Chain A
């Protein structure tokens, strides 16, 4: 169990982490999401006691990390796969870490075998590929057979095989009842790995909820419809209160909002309208996340070619119902996001947060008791 209370880090006059309170619980993979520069790594460094918090505190199994007697036995961490002396062999690198925690030498061989590095154990770590360096880092995290594991961007730069391997490893670790805390800015990765999500932007908590609730609560659903009698259908649907937008992905298709697929199908059947497609869609986690964090992206790519897909071009109108914000400056939690903290994650929107009570993205509070 990792527990942060009002964790704050200030560098000069820049607030990197702002009043974060959360718990990371055993038995599940907790994803730690945020755009680059959101404060994920800083938070993780504070958990490990590498950086001292400006305010608040964070404990590992109830104690500050530097009060833990044999840290490797309680928590294994991989922050930076390159944080090792490249001139030392993989075996010796792990050996010196094991010795500092009184872990027997044979455990070094064990973890090397676990991550598939036995054959290169006597090679200098400086010559390792990125994937092998990452696995050596994971081996060091596993050295003490800890109940808590923490990985900072573990799949960055890995090939598909390595990504898959790490994904399965994290699930395996969580299925054994361990606490797994993994940061990423890759939505697609979190979507298939994490059970629980902690989302931050510009150092502030945006959401702390189960993955399912996160998508259900924040996702917008719509139905893609194709029909040869599109005008007639659209008139009927609009009569029922639907909003209709053209689907740019599929020529001739339309997106119907605010009407369930069954109603659309029934209506079409009633009036003898042929349907060529009727498919319900939900936003992917990626889209939800983009929407939630687009106001807290610190470094926008100011490329003439435009921002990356999905990164809400500045001129683009906001999604229906999504409140317009004045500028890129983030102030308060993104509007429309209910404080859906899991129990024990008490955070409140700073006073005077703009856009409070904005529609659509906030649905009635889900129970949020996943864990």
Chain B
């Protein structure tokens, strides 16, 4: 006759329900003792913290407030973006590149007096845009790679609102940091060059350079955000975006002239050049239409990403 139940298994013990093991309750009960174990906490790499006694927990509380709304998602996304190191590092790199390169150039180069001093001072933005683009991607892709997106959407299930809030917060941050840094750099650089070389005769449009340049940083970052939510993968989205920014200027010259010209004129880099000071060059679209074109690229990426975010399982 075959065995009818699985072989030896501690079974049939009466289960003492609802009663913690005596050993365990001894460990859990006196809270003071549990909390005052010297050296138990902060032991790297895995920090430890004692379990509080459940029996004494007051689980309810004053949670006040009203419903969730878009203003609250904005606040939440602002908290998120300012509380991770990648944001601070990226912003620091951006500021250093713009200001540092601007001051370095203004102190060393010898331009003609008919050159636009502001565009020389702001040359660092061309490299700093890569940091802005990267941060745009990371703002959303890091949520997917860490799994945070599931927690985010559990707390606030309206996905498109989350994406829009991210975009608004990110663009605002980029624009704000851009205006301050580029404004400062433009003023410092221009005065340094003026004192070294002499008054410039070039038409200088400080508004177009500083505000337009800052808007460009926000827009190229939003392009990154769109690619990030579309591809959900940091490395892939960053690579794609670097390609879009850098490739046209590299391959453009090797293409047939008419095609290559268009490839370059409709590229992000061209738009940035026009904005920060390609005033004298009349080829291709002007600075503001160029900016609009890049904004359209970003919008296409964001809309495609939004559609994917809405329809796909997280």
Contacts and interface: CB of A to CB of B under 8 A. Distances in A.
Interface of A: 45, 48-52, 65-66, 68-73, 77, 79-80, 82-89, 92, 95-97, 99-104, 106-107, 110-111, 113-117, 119-120, 123, 127-129, 131-132, 135, 140, 142-145, 160-162, 164-165, 168-169, 171-173, 176, 191-192, 220, 222, 243-246, 248-249, 255, 257, 279, 281-284, 286-287, 290, 309-312, 316-317, 319-320
Nearest to B69: A102
Contacts of A110: 61
B190 to A, nearest CB: 38
Contacts of A89: 83
Given A100-B68, A169-B57, A85 B154 contact: no
Contacts of A171: 18
B52 interface: yes
Q: Is the interface of B mostly helix, strand, loop or mixed?
A: loop
A169 B54 CA distance: 6
B79 A96 contact: yes
Contacts of A257: 4
A172 B55 contact: yes
B76 A83 contact: no
B66 interface: yes
A182 B45 CA distance: 30
Interface string B210-228: 0000000000000000000
Contacts of A85: 80, 84, 142-143, 146, 148
| Interface SS of A by simple majority | mixed
9 contacts: A50-B150, A50-B313, A69-B68, A87-B85, A102-B68, A114-B58, A123-B42, A172-B57, A255-B4
Interface stretch (B101-109, B155-163, B191-199): B155-163
A99 B12 contact: no
Contacts of B157: 48-49, 65-66, 68, 71
B217 to A, nearest CB: 23
A287 B5 contact: yes
Nearest to A132: B49
B63 A104 contact: yes
A41 B4 CA distance: 32
Given A169-B54, A245-B1, A319-B5, A107 B62 contact: yes
A79 B147 CA distance: 11
Contact of B147 (A77, A84, A100, A140): A84
B57 A114 contact: yes
A142 B52 CA distance: 15
Contacts of B156: 71, 100-101
A139 B48 CA distance: 16
A363 to B, nearest CB: 17
Given A100-B156, A110-B61, A283-B11, A160 B24 contact: yes
Most buried by B among A48, A191, A246: A48
Contacts of B59: 114, 142, 145, 172-173, 176
Contact of A102 (B42, B44, B72): B72
A220 B4 contact: yes
A309 B5 CA distance: 10
A161 B76 contact: no
B28 interface: yes
Contacts of B4: 220, 222, 245, 255, 257, 319-320
Interface in B24-57: 24, 27-28, 35, 41-42, 44-52, 54-55, 57
Contacts of B6: 287, 290, 309-312
Contacts, number: 239
* Residue in B35, B49, B75, B148 whose Cβ sees the most chain A Cβ within 10 Å: B49
Given A71-B154, A110-B61, A245-B3, A168 B9 contact: no
Interface in B110-169: 142-143, 146-158
Given A77-B154, A89-B83, A161-B51, 13 more contacts: A79-B154, A85-B84, A97-B152, A100-B76, A102-B66, A107-B63, A116-B49, A116-B50, A120-B41, A120-B49, A127-B45, A176-B59, A316-B2
B280 interface: no
A52 B153 CA distance: 13
Interface in B274-314: 311, 313-314
Most chain A beta carbons < 10 A, residue from B28, B63, B85: B63
B54 A168 contact: yes
Contacts of A101: 65, 68, 72, 155-156
Given A96-B83, A102-B72, A309-B9, A107 B46 contact: no
Nearest to B16: A192
A66 B151 contact: no
Contacts of A310: 6-7, 9
B73 interface: yes
A290 to B, nearest CB: 7
Contacts of B21: 164
B47 A88 contact: no
Contacts of B146: 82-86
B8 A119 contact: no
B256 interface: no
Contact of B7 (A128, A243, A309): A309
